[in-house]
């Protein structure tokens, strides 16, 4: 057959994953000539030779691609035959790298892992061993194209042996930008709190293992930041860590060597096991087993625990020294603040918190916290989408103009979108803190550099006081669209489910609070939504929050606010509620309610769950985000009797908007508590009644307004009792139920919804 030529343009995750050497080897195997080169946002391939061999090459390309490569699209054009005598790899060309896709950080692969435990390997006991199939990527990138000189590995010139592997197209380390060895790569060492070096290299890891077993608390530098580690099998070091961090109750994530160890204290199930063992290595929130044998203080009063397996060489070497060890591995940061990433920063900020530091000298270019996933209703649900997934884009079902969403305030992310791709940043945190807001700005600048997307349209929250709102208004000016918080949730849900641009759904948005169109705090919303507009068709009954944010921190205030119109003050005083300032605070709250002073009204679902937890004595004070609702869910898992609680629907205002009477719900709890029903029975009943009431309103509204799909978003959707029951009720009524697939259902998806709303807006 006559010689032919094809020009291919392949887009997707095709940088830093061994794609070019794979193409080289594939072309050689099929005896074809031509070239492959990286153009930043895609790979260009010219193949020449026999037509049948070219077809075989095209068939093998998607089937045999490298494990970390993800091909989005392959365009093939027939071009004139040029007469290349061999197949070659051409180096990256400079230029604009718009929509370039950098691979995320992944766990050390089995081949590299076996080498660090092989005494005959030159990588023996070397913790920074990587190849094209594993290791840090995004956390090392400074700019594009993704070549070694544009990463933090530029600080470590290759030795002769590594240079040979790096330049050999037939080697699995060909153009693996983080490749290095003990001769030329980063070093690891153990130091005391003042920075004095106590041990180096593998000896430092051995010493760290000994110290952890003795009860010491260590900082451990990883891919995208620092962890704080201690022995999770002993109560003393865990409690001491809590004291030092001033986190009395917040659950800690733990790390164990393998699934065999995990299954001695937890029940991952098939879905949890799949998450835990994936190359992305997220923290997976799974059930504690009946034989839970870790310190109770690791995850107090909860039925589940966050677990991850080792993903760095250092972690693998550490656990190999004591295979049955389980260590707390919590991010080295104050709540809502950025993770510590620099050695000097660790010595300063972690003074008095850790006893020793396990450090290395590779710079972290991009801070990247651990991803957190929970299995809800049998499906993977992101609590935090970060390491292992960022900066992989989410594909859109339509095209949008270049846009950005800057997030809300809590659990912030940034999203840049253009065409059919949206890039969601790593977890940022609580942008009300100056340090975190500064980090938010840095993430925006870096994401613009990496994607090449200069936003023409800006999306932000409706709340005028958010730092993110001010940021967007200052940068975007008249090109800025303020998107109501709960509507952003539903837009994100729609795009996350690849719904076409002309779609409309009945959206249920359940969370803590978000600024509403009427100036009150929303949080239990039924929104008839398209990508272009929404209508508030129903909601939970607005309830008073005495003291505003103080009622978030102390859910007992919510109880008084909800029941003050139904019970006498003497009855309220007899409730088993907690007030830090005792009788004085109780009296202050009652005066606020009677005089309507310093009262915020809210339809929040989260505040209802908080109030129920406080009334039942399950959680008297909130010490971390979501604590009362999480402990209520855990208590509900222990129920033994069925309880029916009253739910009354009211018509609200002239339009006849349905409202769920949550006062009646809490009154039911009050009337039944202290009798034959346990707090666990009543906790279960609260969740069950809420799920049923919410479902009935959603189904009624969907029928009335001719919606075929009903979707759920917001932080309450993490509840693995409420969400499955809503899904069940909705499906039984004949509607399709939508949940998030690739994004968090909490505020981590807000920036995505804002970017889509702005990118499609006809108002800007």
The strand order across the sheet containing 3-13 reads: 70-78, 3-13, 43-50, 33-38, 87-90
Is the separation of the CB atoms in 745 and 469 below 8 Å? no
Which CATH number goes with the domain that contains 478?
Answer: 3.30.420.360
pLDDT digits (tens, 9 = 90+) for 598-609: 999 999 999 999
Is the separation of the CB atoms in 717 and 510 below 8 Å? yes
- Domain stops at, among 74, 90, 106: 90
The three-state secondary structure class of 651 is strand
Q: Is residue 300 part of a domain?
A: yes
Alpha carbon distances (Å) from 753 to 322, 504, 689, 741, 758: 45, 15, 29, 14, 9
696 & 641 share domain: yes
pLDDT digits (tens, 9 = 90+) for 319-342: 999 999 999 999 998 777 899 999
Q: If you search the block for the tokens 């009335």, which residue do you land on? A: 704
The Cα–Cα gap between 421 and 756 comes to 10
The two structure tokens encoding residue 514: 């978000």
Give the total number of structural domains in the chain: 4
451 & 476 share domain: yes
320 & 231 share domain: yes
In sequence order, what DSSP letters do the residues of 338-407 get, joined into one string? Answer: PPP-SHHHHHHHTTTT-SEEEEE----SS--PPPEEEEETTEEEEEE--TTTTTPPEEEEEEEEEEEE--
357 & 397 share domain: no
Alpha carbon distances (Å) from 357 to 139, 347, 350, 382, 495: 20, 8, 9, 30, 43
Q: If you search the block for the tokens 């197949």, which residue do you land on? A: 87
Q: Is residue 510 part of a domain?
A: no
Angle at CA of residue 67, ends 40 and 307, nearest 5°: 110
The three-state secondary structure class of 637 is coil
Q: Identify the pLDDT of residue 659.
A: 94
Residue ranges making up the domain that contains 428:
393-497+744-760
748 & 713 share domain: no
Q: Is residue 566 part of a domain?
A: yes
- Domain stops at, among 90, 125, 151: 90
What phi and psi values does residue 447 have, to the nearest 5 degrees? -65, -35
pLDDT digits (tens, 9 = 90+) for 432-444: 999 999 999 999 9
646 & 553 share domain: yes
The two structure tokens encoding residue 487: 């509507």
Q: Identify the pLDDT of residue 95.
A: 52
What phi and psi values does residue 278 have, to the nearest 5 degrees? -70, 155
- As a whole number of Å, the CA-based R_g of the chain is 28
The two structure tokens encoding residue 694: 């919410």
* pTM attached to this predicted model: 0.93
Which CATH number goes with the domain that contains 56?
Answer: 3.30.70.100
332 & 275 share domain: yes
| Pick from 17, 21, 229, 221: nearest CA to 135 | 17
Q: Is residue 107 part of a domain?
A: no
The three-state secondary structure class of 11 is strand
719 & 686 share domain: yes
Q: Is residue 65 part of a domain?
A: yes
The two structure tokens encoding residue 197: 């070096």
List, for the chain, all residue ranges whose pLDDT scores fall below the cut of 70: 1, 40-41, 92-101, 648-649, 651-654
Q: Is residue 123 part of a domain?
A: no
Alpha carbon distances (Å) from 365 to 154, 191, 574: 12, 23, 56
Alpha carbon distances (Å) from 520 to 463, 724, 763: 11, 29, 25
406 & 424 share domain: yes
The Cα–Cα gap between 682 and 609 comes to 12
316 & 462 share domain: no
Which CATH number goes with the domain that contains 319?
Answer: 3.90.870.40
pLDDT digits (tens, 9 = 90+) for 686-704: 999 999 999 999 999 999 9
The Cα–Cα gap between 613 and 225 comes to 35
In sequence order, what DSSP letters do the residues of 275-340 get, joined into one string? Answer: HHHSTT--EEEEEEPTT--S-GGGSTT-SEEEEE---SHHHHHHHHHSTT-EEEEEESS-TTSPPP
- Domain stops at, among 60, 90, 120: 90
336 & 403 share domain: no
Contact partners, residue 314, CB within 8 Å, separation at least 6: 127, 188, 205, 220, 222, 358, 360
| Pick from 571, 554, 562, 644: nearest CA to 608 | 562
Alpha carbon distances (Å) from 614 to 148, 629, 715: 55, 10, 19
Q: Is residue 729 part of a domain?
A: yes
750 & 721 share domain: no
- Around Cβ 674, how many Cβ atoms within 10 Å? 9
Q: Is residue 719 part of a domain?
A: yes
Backbone CA torsion sign across 353, 356, 361, 366: negative
The secondary structure of residue 751, as a DSSP letter, is: H
Let me know how many helices (H) and strands (E) the chain has, helices first. Answer: 23, 30
The Cα–Cα gap between 716 and 8 comes to 46
Q: Would strands 356-360 and 218-221 be described as parallel, antiparallel, or unpaired?
A: parallel
Contact partners, residue 429, CB within 8 Å, separation at least 6: 333, 336, 337, 338, 411, 412, 436, 439
Which CATH number goes with the domain that contains 696?
Answer: 3.30.420.40
């Amino acid at each position: 057959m006559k010689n032919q030529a094809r020009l291919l343009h392949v887009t997707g995750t095709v940088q830093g994953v061994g794609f070019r050497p794979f193409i080289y080897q594939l072309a050689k195997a099929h005896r074809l000539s031509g070239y492959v080169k990286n153009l930043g946002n895609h790979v260009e391939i010219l193949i020449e030779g026999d037509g049948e061999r070219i077809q075989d090459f095209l068939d093998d390309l998607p089937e045999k691609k490298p494990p970390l490569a993800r091909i989005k699209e392959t365009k093939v054009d027939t071009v004139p035959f040029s007469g290349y005598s061999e197949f070659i790899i051409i180096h990256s060309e400079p230029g604009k790298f718009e929509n370039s896709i950098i691979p995320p950080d992944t766990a050390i692969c089995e081949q590299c892992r076996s080498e660090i435990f092989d005494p005959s390997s030159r990588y023996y006991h070397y913790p920074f061993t990587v190849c094209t199939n594993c290791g840090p990527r995004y956390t090392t990138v400074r700019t594009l194209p993704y070549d070694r000189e544009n990463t933090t590995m530029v600080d470590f010139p290759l030795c002769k042996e590594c240079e040979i592997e790096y330049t050999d197209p037939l080697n699995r380390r060909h153009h693996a930008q983080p490749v290095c060895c003990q001769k030329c790569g980063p070093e690891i060492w153990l130091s005391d709190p003042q920075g004095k070096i106590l041990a180096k290299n593998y000896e430092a890891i051995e010493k760290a293992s000994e110290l952890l077993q003795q009860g010491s608390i260590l900082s451990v530098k990883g891919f995208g930041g620092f962890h704080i580690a201690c022995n999770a099998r002993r109560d003393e070091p865990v409690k001491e860590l809590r004291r030092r961090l001033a986190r009395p109750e917040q659950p800690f994530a733990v790390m164990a060597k393998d699934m065999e160890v995990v299954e001695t204290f937890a029940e991952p199930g098939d879905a949890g096991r799949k998450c835990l063992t994936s190359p992305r290595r997220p923290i997976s929130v799974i059930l504690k087993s009946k034989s839970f044998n870790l310190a109770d203080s690791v995850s107090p009063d909860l039925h589940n625990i966050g677990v991850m397996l080792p993903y760095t060489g250092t972690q693998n070497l550490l656990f190999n020294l004591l295979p049955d060890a389980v260590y707390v591995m919590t991010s080295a940061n104050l709540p809502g603040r950025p993770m510590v990433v620099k050695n000097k920063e660790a010595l300063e900020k972690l003074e008095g918190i850790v006893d020793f530091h396990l450090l290395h000298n590779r710079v972290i270019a991009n801070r990247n916290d651990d991803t957190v996933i929970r299995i809800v209703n049998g499906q993977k649900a992101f609590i935090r989408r970060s390491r292992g997934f960022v900066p992989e884009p989410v594909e859109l079902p339509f095209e949008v103009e270049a846009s950005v969403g800057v997030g809300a305030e809590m659990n912030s992310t940034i999203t840049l979108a253009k065409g059919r791709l949206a890039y969601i940043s790593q977890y940022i945190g609580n942008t009300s803190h100056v340090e975190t807001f500064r980090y938010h700005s840095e993430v925006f600048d870096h994401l613009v550099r990496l994607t090449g997307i200069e936003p023409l349209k800006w999306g932000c929250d409706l709340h005028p006081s958010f730092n993110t709102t001010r940021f967007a208004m200052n940068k975007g000016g008249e090109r800025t669209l303020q998107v109501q918080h709960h509507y952003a949730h539903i837009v994100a849900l729609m795009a996350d489910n690849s719904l076409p641009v002309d779609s409309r759904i009945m959206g249920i948005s359940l969370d803590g609070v978000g600024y509403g169109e009427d100036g009150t705090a929303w949080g239990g919303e039924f929104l008839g939504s398209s990508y272009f507009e929404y209508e508030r068709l129903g909601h939970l009954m607005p309830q008073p929050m005495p003291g505003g944010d103080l009622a978030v921190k102390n859910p007992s205030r919510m109880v008084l606010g909800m029941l003050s119109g139904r019970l006498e003050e003497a009855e309220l005083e007899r409730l088993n509620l907690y007030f830090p300032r005792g009788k004085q605070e109780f009296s202050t709250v009652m005066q606020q309610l009677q005089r309507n002073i310093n009262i915020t009204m809210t339809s929040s679902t989260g505040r209802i769950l908080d109030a129920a937890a406080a009334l039942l004595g399950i959680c008297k004070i909130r010490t971390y985000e979501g604590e009362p609702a999480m402990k209520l869910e855990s208590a509900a898992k222990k129920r033994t009797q069925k309880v029916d609680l009253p739910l009354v629907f009211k018509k609200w205002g002239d339009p006849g908007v349905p409202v769920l009477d949550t006062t009646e719900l809490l009154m039911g709890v009050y009337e039944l508590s202290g009798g034959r029903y346990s707090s666990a029975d009543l906790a279960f009943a609260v969740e069950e009644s809420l799920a049923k009431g919410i479902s009935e309103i959603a189904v009624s509204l969907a029928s009335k307004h001719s919606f075929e799909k009903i979707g759920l978003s917001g932080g309450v959707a993490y509840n693995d009792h409420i969400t499955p029951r809503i899904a069940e009720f909705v499906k039984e009524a004949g509607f399709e139920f939508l949940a998030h697939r690739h994004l968090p259902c909490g505020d981590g998806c807000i920036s995505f919804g804002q970017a889509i709303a702005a990118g499609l807006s006809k108002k800007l």
